[in-house]
Amino acid sequence: MSGPAKLFCSASRDLAALRQRTREELREVREARKAAESLLLEMQREGETVARLPNGECFSLRVKCTARRPTQGPEIFQQLQTAWADGAAALCAALRENPSLDPVDFFVLRLFEEAWPSPEQKTKLEVRPAKETASRVQDLPAAPAAALNLVASVAEAARVVGDRSASVREEAKRLRETCRAAEERLIPELAELPEGCIRRIDFRDASGEESFYVRLKLPRTRPKRKFSAPKVEKALRALLAERTSAAERAEVVARLQRPDFAQTLCRDLEEALAQPAEPSGPRVALDRVRGTLA
């Protein structure tokens, strides 16, 4: 058995065990923090307040609302093309009322309203340390007295998580670097093996005897199957700007109304976004052997 293989298996196993142990140690703390934040959110549905704890600590409580359109599959490009004609008609109607409108900006916003599912609303409460002497904090309304114990619980949970994460950070970094160094030496060995590039590794150390399969994991170049609204919108605006850059305003509006222009642009948009990322080099995958194999 090669030295890099044993080192890779050992470091990978220890890193996985460290992560699992940390997750288990912090599970109850994180659950308690989540429960406290949920109760605080029920007390404060909007705005920002300040909580001054008896021990002198000060925290700001801010409700943050976000709206994000859900990620879509490749069918979104057909939906954009289907909604194109209605978007162009709405643009013409809007221009009759307000000729100074930016046609591309109006059209893109209207197109996404028609084609993309409605944004998902999410509300989150942020509890952050604050300086009581800061003028902004002094102007904030005080959080209700019932919230102080909950704020103290959230703050303590954040401290515990932060301290534990800091305590394992160096060890996790060392194990990751060991894995990567061993992997770089192991890849050429696995690449020389016939089909599958799999090797069974059996070794014994202080924790007992274990067996692993190490295999060469070649890069995949599958087309992307999920698309986010911001990325599609950015790419759509770039394509429209590129294909209407030298056109007069009236010509831009005319192009947006042409079905062939919509069809070509939506097809090119999908092709551009579905391109797989440049593949990285091969990696080594590790599978633990369960039970006794023949």
pLDDT of residue 205: 65
pLDDT of residue 282: 84
Question: ∠244-248-254 over CA atoms, to 5°?
Answer: 70
Q: Report the DSSP beta bridge partners of residue 203.
A: 210
Per residue in 191-201, pLDDT tens? 888 766 778 87
Q: What is the mean pLDDT of the chain?
A: 89
Mean pLDDT of 107-112: 95
Has residue 1 got a pLDDT over 50? Answer: no
Per residue in 115-154, pLDDT tens? 999 999 899 999 999 887 777 888 889 899 999 999 999 9
Per residue in 213-272, pLDDT tens? 888 887 777 778 899 999 999 999 999 999 888 888 899 999 999 999 999 999 999 999
User: Which uninterrupted H or E stretch holds 62?
Assistant: strand 58-68
Per residue in 76-102, pLDDT tens? 999 999 999 999 999 999 999 999 999
Judged on CB neighbours under 10 Å (0-12, 13-18, 19+), 59 is buried
pLDDT-based confidence at 292, cuts 50/70/90? very low
Q: Where are the domains of the chain?
A: 1-69+122-185
Judged on CB neighbours under 10 Å (0-12, 13-18, 19+), 270 is buried
What is the percent of the chain with per-residue pLDDT over 70, rounded to a whole number? 95
